[in-house]
Amino acid sequence: MFPTSTALSIRRSRLQIEVIKFYRECCKAVKRKPPETQNRFQQFLRTQFRQHKISPRDHAAIEYLLRRGKKQLETYQSLGNLSDNPGATKQRKRVGRGPASGHGKTCGRGQKGQKARGGKPRRGFEGGQTPISVAFPKRGFHNRGGKTYAPLNLDRLQHWISSGRIDPSQPITMKHLLDTRCVHGVKDGVKLLADGSDYLKTPITIEVARASQAAIRAIEKAGGKVTCRYYNRLALRATIKPEKFWKIPKFAAPVKAKDIEWYSDYKNRGYLSKKLAGLPITQSNAQIAAHSI
């Protein structure tokens, strides 16, 4: 059973459009080729159109031309016909070939001097003076995850208590330490150290960011209590300068695994140790415990 005339006309028109598109693609493909190749290929297409006398109704001839043209395109785009794009290569500059060229004798380098000689100085050479890498050497590295704590030794804390600057009957926070000038430059918090622990005789309740094991033992031996709490930048600012806030924000829970583990350990007197007793140490549990305090 043969297709209807309507179906044939639709098919012929589609094939005609396909041939026209293919012709345009072929012309674009050889656009960057040498003019001879481009002219030969376009001449080939025109010759095929004339020879076969293609009309919109002759779809068999169109299919034949389509196959023949694709094969011819593959021939023109073979590995033997590849070439660089325009501007991909640069012609070598010939120097020292007489004054008429404009680059003779001195070859465009001028008269004498270091720049007229052959070669270049090594990297980092500064003309004979001491290089900056030698004058100001860089050593070590910057720990992006590290924190800088203001140190506070126990002998200094006892001296502030004995002189009446700090009230030991009230819980001591980092705000009290900073207001009384017991510590300076609180960047990431205060860390208690055990230097001068023999002088500490007053039982105190103190809350800081970090504390050494020896400092914890000395304070508890005197009858005091230590709590280590995690502070991010917002929580630290709210603790030190509460007058800057209309409403004190909730303190964030630790996010890094090392911080969660450290503040969940009772030997460090972490504030999450009692809330996380018997629970797996995870970030979600740490957030729940921190918000419940």
Average pLDDT over residues 268-283: 71
Structure tokens at 182: 């017991």
Measuring CA to CA, which residue among 99, 105, 48, 54 is closest to residue 71? 48
Secondary element (H or E) of residue 151: strand 150-153
Q: What is the SS3 assignment for 27?
A: helix
Measuring CA to CA, which residue among 188, 195, 194 is closest to residue 237? 188
The span from the CA of 50 to the CA of 38, in Å, is: 19
Q: What is the SS3 assignment for 191?
A: strand
Confirm if 174 and 239 have CB atoms less than 8 A apart. Answer: yes
Please tell me what DSSP assigns to residue 153: E
Percent of the chain at pLDDT above 70? 66
CB atoms within 10 A of CB 97: 12
Q: What residues contact residue 85 under an 8 Å CB cut-off, 6+ apart?
A: 32
Confirm if 192 and 215 have CB atoms less than 8 A apart. Answer: yes
Q: What residues contact residue 157 under an 8 Å CB cut-off, 6+ apart?
A: 166, 182, 192, 200, 204
Query: Does pTM top 0.75 for this prediction?
Result: no
Res. 283: pLDDT tops 90: no
Res. 10: pLDDT tops 70: no
Tens of pLDDT along 93-131? 999 999 999 999 999 999 998 889 888 889 999 999 999
Average pLDDT over residues 239-261: 90
Tens of pLDDT along 137-153? 998 888 888 899 999 99
Average pLDDT over residues 21-30: 61
Q: Average model confidence (pLDDT) for the chain?
A: 81
Measuring CA to CA, which residue among 258, 263, 268 is closest to residue 290? 263
- Least confident window among 57-71, 135-149, 185-199, 221-235: 57-71
β 210-211/205-208 pair status = unpaired
